[in-house]
Amino acid sequence: MLKVEHITKYYGDFLAVDDLSFEVQEGEIFGLLGVNGAGKTTTFRMMMGLLDYQKGKITLNGKPIDYRVTDQIGFLTEERSLLTKLTVKQQAIFFGVLKGLSKKEILKRLDILLERFEISEYKEKKIKELSKGNQQKVQFITAILNEPKLLILDEPFSGLDPFNVELFKKEILRLAQQGSMIIFSSHRMDHVELFCKKLVILVKGKSVIEGYIKDIKKDYRKKNILIKGDVSKEELLKIGGVLQVLEKADELEVKIESEEVVQSVFEYVKNRKNITKFMVEEPSLQEIFVAKVGETYEK
Ligand code: ATP
């Protein structure tokens, strides 16, 4: 288990990470969310032992994270650090050996991963000759060559097209199924929602929402009902527990204070004509975040 306990980091007088705690278990995919400057990269660097901090403790299976456990860790840094003059194969050997793998093992794993990422033909190509997306694939492959127990991914999806996002997700899910602990950062809540079960949202270095997404949504209580058909916005707003009615393209989104209100809305809707949709939805993470923290969060 990865345990981050009450980590606090100042750069001079500036408080960059404020009393942050979370845990990631084997097989769990954990999201660290926040806008630019929220403290995500700083947190990762502290986890990797690349930055000192003033307070707190970070442990992997009860032990500090240092050079003795490098072979169990994979880290995809935000600034893409590739050895651009080397070929894909040379780079894999360089980093693989640093992680204690034999050349034979590296080449075996490299072939499998290049195939999964559909870039086998680039094995002997220099990194600088590859497109950005393919360079990112190579960096990711390098980070997971050692099948890490702890995989840290700083903005892994940035700059990738939707097809490649899927390839990355598939591989991350495979590693999680094998028991890796995976922690990744993003400023896109929609990416995270479909993908991880547990998260922390940072605002100015402080956790403002944390835990399992399903619990966060349950605690929030509010729900949305999507309705298509001949209904009146004014009539809906008269129903007790209806907070807001928004007009979307060809439907209404009715925001209610709790699930108990669904029945009253349904009683009204069932007597109306041409109803083609009545759907109860949980609010998105983005919506919960905006309700809790304000509109300042950029998508
Ligand atoms: P991004 O999404 O832009 O990468 P982030 O969430 O990773 O942002 P950090 O890079 O961790 O954020 O930065 C957190 C805060 O600490 C920012 O306000 C940043 O300006 C500040 N900061 C980061 N590195 C330093 C440094 N070396 N010296 C002083 N301040 C720093």
Q: What is the mean pLDDT of each run of 10 residues along the chain (299 residues)?
A: 96 96 96 89 91 94 86 85 86 92 96 96 94 92 94 90 91 95 88 84 91 90 94 95 94 95 95 94 88 63
Cα–Cα distance between 4 and 46 in angstroms, integer? 10
pTM as predicted: 0.85
How much is the pLDDT for 299? Answer: 45
Phi, psi (rounded to 5 degrees) for 246: -110, 140
How much is the pLDDT for 191? Answer: 76
CA of 34 to the centre of ligand 1 (A): 11
Structural element, H or E, at residue 171: helix 162-177
Q: Spell out the domain ranges in the chain.
A: 2-217, 221-282
Pocket of ligand 1 (CB under 6 A): 11, 14, 16, 34, 36-42, 78, 187
Architecture in CATH of 221-282: 2-Layer Sandwich (3.30)
In 3-state terms the chain splits into helix, strand, coil percentages (rounded to 5) of: 40, 30, 35
Rg over CA atoms, the chain:
23
Q: Same CATH fold, 221-282 and 2-217?
A: no
Nearest CA, atom 19, ligand 1: 37
How much is the pLDDT for 94? Answer: 92
In sequence order, the 6+-apart residues with CB closer than 8 A to the CB of 292 are 208, 209
How much is the pLDDT for 270? Answer: 92
Question: What's 2-217's CATH class?
Answer: alpha beta
